[in-house]
């Protein structure tokens, strides 16, 4: 075929031939040509010599590449070959670099971190919380950037923005989740260094030491009775058993046997160890009066049988209001000004610390208290903790009964008997 200068009109005129594929050369740029397939599809290509061999470089389809764009791309490829660089290898390297860049975005690495590390190695609740923190604050801010491009300045700007937004200790949680993500990427050699190296959490957190007084314990108990099932019952159980909030909230009837032994499966404990809690008689009495709401999950504390007790913040506010109302009513009865009554703030977790502290005051051995709390470290730790399979069952029952009797004395109840 005699080469002619291709024009947009001639490109449009060329039709597919039954005989097969057509190649129409461009006289304006030797090596550049239009390809017409039997199907009618058209594309552009250029032939050049490299390393003593003829090579074909595909530019792209028509009309995505019009004649002008295709001719410019062909000219660039020919110039590249003339300078000793192979356009095909250059294109392949560019595609691979683009794919690598897409794989190395914060969004992609975060998703891989969640699936390969976070979910397999963490409790489901923690994994879900950490994933949400990464999605809402780290990926939302840096998602399309390559993770290796995130600098120390970027990390500082992130934490500053969180604290400026008033997140408080929540900023520390985001900081920890982000630092863990970048440390994982560093271990897998996705990045060469982490921007969180030697950075400290944005806010200083001090270990809470809040222990409720006997007067406060009494108000908590009375207010819990007033609030009623299920949250009031949850609070009383937290107080009597010294267990963690979510462990009590998700208690099921199948976990408690007829003798009042509550067996927490390893999947539900913080340290992934099965935990036996001999319920004191007062706790058993509460269970005996709790409604059994039908539901497949079998939760003890539930409103619909399908989901465990929740809305802790909202219900805690109601409990606090009930406590204040009781305290002010008692002030009126005692002839004091009720408006002068104020209560110090406290958290549900403080009930666990209060129980442990008072059990120590009641001369219960520290290793028994730690066994009740299901602590993985402390008086019985390290190698001794690993090989000591003694559950301190009788000692735990005695300690919890002593604590329950103390609570009953505070609130003015007759001691429970088995």
What percent of the chain shows pLDDT beyond 90? 72
Stretch 331-349: mean pLDDT, rounded? 92
Is the whole model's pTM more than 0.85, yes or no? no
**pLDDT at residue 2 in the model:** 67
- 207: pLDDT confidence band, cut at 50, 70 and 90? low
**Region 101-128 average pLDDT:** 89
**Position 122 confidence tier, pLDDT thresholds 50, 70, 90:** confident
CA distance 336 to 159: 48
Q: What is the pLDDT of residue 387?
A: 37
Q: How confident is the model at residue 95 (pLDDT cuts 50, 70, 90)?
A: confident
pLDDT of residue 376: 64
> Using DSSP, how many helices (H) and how many strands (E) does the chain show?
18, 6
What is the signed CA dihedral for 217, 223, 225, 228, rounded to 10 degrees?
-130
Structural domains in the chain, sorted by start: 8-86 (3.30.160.390), 106-187 (1.10.150), 214-411 (1.10.443.10)
How much of the chain exceeds pLDDT 70, in percent?
A: 92
Residue 382 pLDDT > 70, yes or no?
A: no
Distance CA 231, CA 354 (A): 19
The better pLDDT of the pair 244, 2 is held by 244
Decide if 270 contacts 244 (C-beta within 8 A). yes
| pLDDT score of 1 more than 70 | no
CA distances from 43 to 24, 76, 95 (A): 11, 17, 20
Residue 280 confidence (pLDDT) above 80: yes
Q: Three-state DSSP class for 267?
A: helix
- The answer to whether the CB of 181 falls within 8 A of the CB of 141 is no
Nearest CA among 368, 404, 405 for reference residue 236: 404
d(CA 347, CA 10): 80
Spatial separation of the C-alpha atoms in residues 229 and 234, rounded to whole Å: 8
Residue 379 half-sphere exposure toward CB, CA atoms < 13 A: 10
The DSSP-derived string for 197-249 is TTPPPSS----------HHHHHHHHHHHHHH-TTHHHHHHHHHHH---HHHHH
Q: How confident is the model at residue 406 (pLDDT cuts 50, 70, 90)?
A: very high
- Statement: residue 373 has pLDDT above 60: yes
Per-residue model confidence as pLDDT tens digits over 8-35: 999 999 888 877 889 999 999 999 999 9
Which pLDDT value is given to residue 204?
Answer: 76
Tens digit of pLDDT for each residue in 42-87?
999 999 999 889 999 999 999 999 999 999 999 999 999 999 999 8
Strands (E), 97-147: none
User: In which region does residue 398 sit, left (phi positive, over 0), alpha (psi from -120 to 50) or beta (all else)?
Assistant: alpha
Q: Is 20 exposed, middle or buried (0-12, 13-18, 19+ CB in 10 A)?
A: exposed
Confidence grade of residue 412 (pLDDT, cut at 50, 70, 90): confident
Under the banding of pLDDT at 50, 70 and 90, the label for residue 98 is low
Q: What would the pLDDT profile of 167-180 be if each residue is shown by its tens digit?
A: 888 899 999 999 99
Average confidence score pLDDT of the chain: 89
What is the Cα–Cα distance from 177 to 158, expressed in whole angstroms?
12
Q: Would the CA dihedral through 162, 180, 106, 149 be positive or negative?
A: positive
pLDDT band at 392 (very low <50, low <70, confident <90, very high): confident
- 171 burial (CB, 10 Å; 0-12 / 13-18 / 19+) is buried
Cα separation, 23 vs 14, in Å, equals 10
- The residue-averaged pLDDT of 196-215 equals 85
């Amino acid at each position: 075929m005699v080469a002619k200068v291709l024009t947009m009109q001639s490109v449009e005129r060329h039709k597919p031939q039954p005989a097969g594929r057509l190649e129409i050369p461009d006289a304006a740029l030797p090596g550049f040509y239009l390809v017409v397939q039997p199907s009618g599809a058209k594309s552009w290509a250029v032939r050049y010599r490299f390393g003593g061999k003829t090579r074909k470089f595909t530019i792209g389809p028509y009309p995505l590449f019009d004649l002008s764009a295709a001719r410019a791309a062909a000219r660039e490829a020919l110039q590249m070959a003339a300078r000793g660089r192979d356009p095909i290898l250059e294109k392949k390297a560019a595609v691979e670099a683009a794919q690598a860049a897409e794989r190395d975005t914060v969004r992609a690495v975060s998703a891989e971190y969640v699936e390969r590390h976070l979910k397999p190695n963490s409790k489901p609740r923690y994994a879900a919380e950490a994933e949400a923190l990464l999605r809402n604050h780290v990926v939302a801010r840096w998602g399309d950037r390559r993770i290796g491009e995130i600098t120390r300045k970027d990390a500082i700007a992130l934490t500053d923005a969180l604290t400026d937004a008033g997140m408080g200790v929540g900023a520390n949680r985001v900081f920890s989740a982000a630092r863990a993500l970048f440390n994982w990427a560093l271990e897998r050699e996705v990045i060469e260094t982490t921007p969180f190296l030697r950075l400290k959490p944005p806010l200083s957190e001090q270990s809470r030491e809040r222990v409720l007084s006997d007067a406060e314990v009494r108000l908590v108990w009375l207010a819990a009775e007033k609030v009623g099932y299920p949250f009031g019952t949850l609070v009383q159980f937290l107080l009597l058993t010294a267990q963690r909030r979510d462990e009590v909230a998700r208690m099921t009837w199948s976990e408690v046997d007829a003798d009042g032994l509550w067996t927490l499966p390893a999947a539900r404990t913080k340290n992934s160890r099965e935990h036996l809690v001999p319920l004191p008689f007062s706790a058993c009495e509460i269970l005996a009066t709790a409604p059994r709401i039908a539901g497949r999950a079998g939760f003890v504390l539930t409103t619909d049988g399908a989901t465990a007790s929740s809305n802790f913040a909202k219900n805690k506010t109601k409990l606090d209001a009930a406590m204040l109302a009781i305290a002010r009513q008692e002030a009126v009865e005692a002839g004091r000004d009720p408006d002068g009554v104020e209560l110090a703030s406290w958290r549900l977790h403080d009930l666990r610390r209060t129980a442990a502290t008072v059990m120590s005051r009641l001369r219960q051995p520290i290793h028994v208290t730690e066994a009740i709390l299901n602590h993985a470290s402390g008086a019985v730790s390290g190698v001794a903790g690993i090989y000591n399979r003694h559950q301190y069952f009788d000692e735990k029952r005695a300690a919890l009964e002593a604590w329950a009797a103390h609570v009953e004395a505070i609130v003015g109840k007759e001691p429970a008997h088995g």
